[in-house]
Structure 1
Amino acid sequence: MDGRGQIEAMAATPVPAWRASAQGLYEVLGALRHDLEARAAHRLEGWDGQILRHDFMPGAANLADYLALRRHDLTAFQAPLAALGLSSLGRCEGHVRASLDAVLAALARVLGEDGGAFPRPEAFAVPQARIGAQRDALFGAREGGPAARIMVTLPPEAAEGPALIDRLVMEGADCLRINCAHDGPEAWAAMIGHARRRATKSGRRVPVLMDLAGPKLRIATLEGDAKARLGAGDRVAILPAPVKARGGKSGKAGALAITLSHPEVMAHLAPGVPVSFDDGKLWGKVVEAGAERVLVEITQAPERGARLKPAKGVNLPGVDLAIPALGEDDLRALDFVMGHADLVGYSFVQTPADVVRLIEAMEARANGRPLPAVVLKIETPLALRNLPDLIVAAGGRLPVAVMIARGDLAVEIGLDRLSEIQEEILWLCEAAHVPVVWATQVLEGLLKEGRASRAEATDAAMSQRADCVMLNKGPYLPEAVGFLRGVLMRMDRHQDKKSARLGPLGLWRDGR
């Protein structure tokens, strides 16, 4: 019987006494440890030749261990392990083999046997230190601040003078993000100049992430009543080119007609295909499809309706668009990025081949300079499925981090699955010793309106388990940085990733 069969058999067998429980756990976890070693070795063989950075090898090996471990359902063994005062393996992500070996050694002592040696303490401490070092190298180091770094997205006015960036850094910003979908090289250069001068004044690094736009599908043009609020039952025409440019008419008076940034995707649209506009504010489905027009009927909308605007995003969940992750606009932006950025954000990366193409494009522009680190933005179901291989393809060559890009990801996989998936991404990246960025709509109400909702405050608290938290643009950005910093600092007293810190409870101490 293989390791998985033994685990399933054990789960179905009652273990009434602690000694029988310990004996059964020792046997089944020993079989699992053997199975893990074989499967992890096989996966590492598949990654052979991709890992050129010696520093990344421990993370890759532990990731292979974690993927082998999580093939199994360990739920049935967690309560029996805890009842014996042992680790339930619920916090083993960063040190899988050491965690298993520690449990096996403890079970052997419980049974009075001379089991294997306990792992050395550094087997647990070193992986956490490695993740922390990568976090600091990529997103900045700050004494006296929260463990999670704060990344802020710079608005256009950050190019006008140093005041905004100075205030953001003073409020607690550690890393600055420039979205290459907006502004241009002149504004980018001004922003980075202000950032570098501020870093010199403060005596610490303030890294700059430049985020390539990628093949984000957007509304390119809009014709008709641009002020119209769309509700359920309304229809929108998708055209291959603007009507006015073709000298035609869009149809009935007041009807909305749009074109897309990638008109070739019209060929993938068929009746019944779901369509999302503006990160899910409007949902519709295709009711007619042809080469010259695709008609979308709105099925879900806010009570007051919602407007479509040029440059807003469009998502087609479940449709494989096969658009290259690195387009011509990205390559032009990369000409600037390579001389200025500390990190490159890779939007809509989906396959290891996408990663190879980015690295090759950076190498072609490096002119002897070291390459920036890569932040893989996970935004599609295919990227999720390929995440271990994406991490290895990038981390085997360059320092790497992963961004949970929750806007597009939620639309693509369904909002109901987002909470589950963002947890799994956190676990997988901790296993690979790779930092994670928690992004999209963090404190959105505070950023835009000056006041956070209770749900947003809770989301900000949950973000503390990541290594970096990203804020978008908004008129209240400095206030949001200060608020987020305070939340993260307080949460650091209670939580370290999945592990609860058992500090004293101040409110109820001494019987008060």
Structure 2
Amino acid sequence: MTVTHSTPCQDSPAPLAGAESADLSAIADLKERIETLTAAITAEAEQRLERWAAWDIRGDFQPSAENLAAYLAFRHHDLRDLQRRLMALGLSSLGRLESRVLPTLHAVQAALAAMLGTPPPSGAAAGAFFAGEERLRSRALALLGLAAEERQAALLVTCPSEAADDPAFMDSLAQRGVEALRINCAHDGADQWLRMIAHARTAQQHSGHRFRIFMDLAGPKNRTGTVRATHDTRRVFAGDRIAMTAPGQLQRAVPPETAFVFECLLPEVIDQARPGQRLLIDDGKIEARIDSAGHGLLVATVSRTKEKGGKLKPEKGINLPDTELHLPALTAKDREDIAFIAEHADGLSFSFVQTPDDVVMLQDALAALPLRRETPLALVLKIETALAVQNLPDIIMRAGARNPVAIMIARGDLAIEIGFARLAEMQEEILWIAEAAQVPVIWATQVLEQLVKEGLPHRGELTDAAMAARAECVMLNKGPHLLEAIDALDPLLERMEGHIHKKTPQLRRLASW
């Protein structure tokens, strides 16, 4: 069957030849439902856009704001039954419209109208269907340094401290076509960062390959300080009680059955926690339930750890996933580092951003600098908490209103905050929201970690790395076998890109059969 698409100035095609009236009635019902859905989405999107308009969104980001508003309105509806009815007619199931919400709905309306022999609706202009996809690709090319003819996903590599004194490291990355470097401001200092950047620029001159340089703000990372055992024991077990206190308060009175007392380097979180909430230590290796909290002392009972017990050590992460923490988005150290980043880097990675107001705080701090850049600093928003996921659309709009923007799915802290079981679901939703906003995504944390550290990958992490091809960038952390991991990841991504783009299968010829 050939479907003829008409324009409003052409004669309408005839209805489907031989179609039963019941079939035409069902198609007409579908058409009406799509029209009603489109009207509802448009109205709801306009309400959201009115709120975002107060943020003075720059002109080239406005189409992305409009598409994201439409996508959020679209996802307020349960359309599974509608999808199946459209699929049965050979039409779009609407499951792949993230970057083109209204153009997809208009295309479906036009196809249904053609089946009924009625004029198509006046919808998006010709060529608009792939405009959002092209906008996303253009931003990825500009922000991450990809060349149009190269791989679809850029590589972002974390610089180890040794890179400050090893020029050959940057040469090796340039030879492998690594697009971007990550310098973590939680480690080393300005002298080491300058040497890393100088080595990168020298390698760039030698190879003709330019690096994009991104620098991470350390952010308000909560960690353990000094640990004191109250009894003759080295490990903590399920059922043990532990106490968390401010630095310098290890000797204060605690319940007599407490096994360990340890310092919390962000003591203000203690009085914000509540009984019954969870306390996670060392990437969740020790999980406890809070018994009491206040006056600078938190007492909790361990609910889960290793069978042979867990070790409480200094400098391990502390997470309170059930607690709505009110912490400044920028620490004093962050504010010092911002000036260096604005002068020397292409982008700033914003750790633990949670609300649109956090973004404004950072943008205002950048605007207050005496340095005036030729182009705005790119912002990479690290999504690490449940609150950040909840506020993601507004966070993106606040950032994109003034700056080029990308999203980093920081899967380490995010998994601890929302639970490992929900991570896979949430990373999909983040990918969808970012694509609807037409901003690049960086897939981060523990990518090929076993290979990077030990030189031999787990089978499961190869599958995880393959799924990273749906993002615009993949981040590798430092380790002794980093170059081997790059050599393994590059061809893996290239092969996967021949099979899938975002959620859309690429129907290349299968060579295996």
TM-score normalized with structure 1 length? 0.91
Q: 1:171 aligns with which of 176, 180, 184?
A: 176
Q: 1:408-460 CA deviation, whole Å, 9 max, x = no partner?
A: 11111111111111111111111111111111111111111112111111110
Look up the match of 1:276. Answer: 280
Post-superposition Cα deviations, 1:332-382, rounded to whole Å, max 9, x if no partner, equal 111211111111111111111111110111111252224311011111122
SS at match of 1:210: strand
What does residue 9 of structure 1 align with?
none
SS of residue in 2 equivalent to 1:122: coil
Is the counterpart of residue 388 in structure 1 residue 388 in structure 2?
Answer: no
Aligned counterpart, 2:368: 364
Separation in 1, partners of 2:414, 2:113: 45
How far apart in 1 are the matches of 2:390 and 2:207? 42
**Match for 1:205 among 203, 210, 213?**
210
Structure 1 Cα separation of the partners of residues 176 and 257 of structure 2: 51
Native 8 Å contact 2:242 2:258 kept in 1: no
1:503 correspondence with 2:502: no
SS class of match (2:288): strand
Q: In the alignment, what sits opposite 2:320? A: 316
Describe how 1:240-319 pairs up with structure 2 within 5 A. 240-243=246-249, 255-291=259-295, 293-319=297-323
Q: Give the 3-state SS of the residue equivalent to 1:287 in structure 2.
A: strand
The correspondence for 2:379, drawn from 369, 374, 379, is 374
Contact 1:18 1:84 in 2 (8 A): no
The alpha-carbon deviation at position 203 of structure 1 amounts to 2.0
Q: Which runs of no fewer than 5 residues in structure 1 stay unpaired? A: 1-14
**Are 2:244 and 1:238 aligned?**
yes
Counterpart residue number, 2:59: 54
After TM superposition, the structure 1 = structure 2 runs for residues 74-93 of structure 1, keeping only pairs within 5 Å, are: 74-93=79-98
CA shift, 1:61, in A, is 0.8
**Of 152, 159, 175, the match for 2:157:** 152
Task: Work out the CA distance in 2 between the residues paired with 1:155 and 1:486.
Answer: 24
Q: Is this contact kept in 2: 1:145–1:485, CA < 8 A?
A: no
For the 8 Å contact 1:172–1:485, the answer to whether it is kept is no
Name the counterpart of 1:98: 103
Structure 1 residues 114 and 181: alpha-carbon distance in aligned structure 2, compared to 1, 3 A threshold: same
2:134 equivalent among 129, 133, 140? 129
Decide whether aligned partners of structure 1 residues 290 and 49 sit closer, same or farther in structure 2, where only a CA change above 3 A counts: closer
- Pairwise CA distance, 1:252: 7.9
Q: Which amino acid aligns with 1:148?
A: A
Contact in 1 for aligned 2:246/2:265 (Cα 8 Å): no
1:255-287 residue CA offsets vs partner (Å, 9 max, x unmatched):
432111211111123332211112222211123
Is contact 2:280-2:287 (8 Å) kept? yes
Residue 105 of structure 2 aligns with an amino acid whose one-letter code is: L
User: How far apart are the structure 2 equivalents of 1:109 and 1:355?
Assistant: 47
User: Contact (CA 8 Å) 1:338, 1:371: kept in 2 or not?
Assistant: no
List aligned pairs for 1:181-200, cutoff 5 A.
181-200=186-205
Q: Of the two structures, which has the highest relative contact order with CA contacts closer than 8 Å and spacing of 6 or more? A: 1
Answer yes or no: is 1:455 the counterpart of 2:460: yes
CA distance in 2, matches of 1:62, 1:95: 7
What residue identity is the alignment partner of 2:246?
P
Q: Tell me whether 492-501 or 217-226 shows the greater mean CA deviation.
A: 217-226
Is the contact between residue 181 and residue 211 of structure 2 (CA under 8 Å) also seen in structure 1? yes
How far apart, in 1, do the equivalents of 2:499 and 2:92 lie?
A: 19
Give the Å deviation of 1:302. 2.7
Ranges in structure 2 where 5+ consecutive residues have no aligned partner: 1-19
Instruction: Give the corresponding residue for 1:409.
Output: 414
Q: 1:181 to 1:339 in 2, by over 3 A?
A: same
Q: Aligned equivalents of 1:449 and 1:258: distance in 2? A: 31
The equivalent residue for 1:5 is none
Where 1:365 maps in the other structure, the secondary structure is coil
Gap change, CA 1:101 and 1:39, over 3 Å in 2: same
- 1:216/1:104 CA distance change after superposition, 3 Å: same
Deviations 1:198-220 (A, max 9, x none): 22223232111111111121113
CA distance in structure 1 between the aligned counterparts of 2:478 and 2:309, rounded to whole angstroms: 24
How much has 1:26 moved relative to structure 2?
0.1
Instruction: Indicate if the aligned counterparts of 1:317 and 1:411 stay in contact, CA closer than 8 A.
Output: yes
Deviations, residues 106-141 of structure 1 (Å, cap 9, x unaligned): 000011112226755521222212111111111112
Change (3 A) 1:453 1:39: same
CA distance in 2, matches of 1:165, 1:298: 45
- Whole-Å separation in 2 of the counterparts to 1:189 and 1:310: 29
Match of 2:449 among 434, 444, 457: 444
Larger mean Cα displacement after TM superposition, 84-93 or 145-154: 145-154
**1:347-362 superposed matches below 5 A:** 347-362=351-366
Per the normalisation by structure 2, the TM-score is 0.91
Could you tell me how far apart the structure 1 residues matched to 2:254 and 2:429 are?
Answer: 46
Aligned-partner SS, 2:431: helix
- What is the number of equivalent residue pairs in this alignment? 492
Q: 1:260 to 1:207 in 2, by over 3 A?
A: same
Report if the CA contact (8 A) 1:277-1:313 is conserved: yes
Which deviates further from its counterpart, 368-377 or 68-77?
368-377
Question: 2:239, 2:301 within 8 Å by CA — same for their partners in 1?
Answer: yes
Instruction: Judge conservation of contact 2:102–2:124 (CA < 8 Å) in 1.
Output: no
> Which of residues 14, 25, 30 is equivalent to 1:25?
30
User: Shift of the alpha carbon at 1:97?
Assistant: 0.8
1:346 to 2:356 alignment: no
1:4 is aligned to: none
- Per mean C-alpha deviation after superposition, the further-off stretch among 264-273 and 38-47 is 264-273
